[in-house]
Chain A
Amino acid sequence: DAKTTQPPSMDCAEGRAANLPCNHSTISGNEYVYWYRQIHSQGPQYIIHGLKNNETNEMASLIITEDRKSSTLILPHATLRDTAVYYCIVRVGNQGGKLIFGQGTELSVKP
């Protein structure tokens, strides 16, 4: 699985959009980009995933660059409950198996 690079921490004002970047320059053609988050003292929670097209669901949007070497997770209207560690993971989508978690980005949403 390809490695990812994320900033260790970010701040965001409540109600504003949170844009979390991720670099995955060694991503292979069949590897998906997944985002999970871990709210303090809880288990990781799936947010969204994509291959090459931009994706949106009720939680977030995922923007993947055309060369697929980086992506951005967007929380359109961040709330205090979005304070968490956000993990960007790339893995082959059609094989079951481990998620390789990096250090992630610690997002602090402030009032």
Chain B
Amino acid sequence: DTAVSQTPKYLVTQMGNDKSIKCEQNLGHDTMYWYKQDSKKFLKIMFSYNNKELIINETVPNRFSPKSPDKAHLNLHINSLELGDSAVYFCASSQRKVTQETQYFGPGTRLLVL
């Protein structure tokens, strides 16, 4: 069974379009994340939700809007897509603990904006 799954795996779209990518985890974790990996392979946090509450919101254009309908799901909606949004987007989840917290990553969604 896949622990952290993302859909779609690939997304090719035109500039200006609006698109959503979805993430689901079946690990029973209470915290979920979105990371972006650009063409230079740098991985950077975008958002994090804990128990459906937004707790991390990095400097991300407000065209990006995360939504967490429940603890097992975290979706990412992107409005007015731009060429620079082309990247691989990774979802991750973890369970908050006192001493350590391991994040489990999904397989990624490869977004290409033309």
Contact = CB atoms under 8 A, between A and B. Distances in A.
Contacts of B100: 32, 49, 93
A45 to B, nearest CB: 7
Interface stretch (B44-52, B70-78, B79-87): B44-52
A48 to B, nearest CB: 10
Interface in B26-71: 31, 33, 35, 41-45, 48, 50, 55-56, 58
Contacts of A99: 35, 43, 45, 103
B56 A101 contact: no
Contacts of A38: 43
A73 to B, nearest CB: 16
Interface in A19-46: 32, 38, 41-46
Given A32-B100, A85-B41, A97 B56 contact: yes
Contacts of B101: 93, 96
A96 B43 contact: no
B: interface residue count bin: 20 to 34
A44 B94 contact: no
Contacts, number: 56
Given A49-B102, A97-B48, A97-B56, A43 B107 contact: yes
Interface string A56-98: 0000000000000000000000000000010100000110111
A105 to B, nearest CB: 12
Contacts of A43: 4, 90, 92, 105-108
Given A98-B58, A99-B103, A100-B45, 4 more contacts: A43-B106, A94-B97, A96-B94, A98-B45
Interface of B: 4, 31, 33, 35, 41-45, 48, 50, 55-56, 58, 90, 92, 94, 96-108
Interface of A: 32, 38, 41-46, 49, 85, 87, 93-94, 96-101, 103
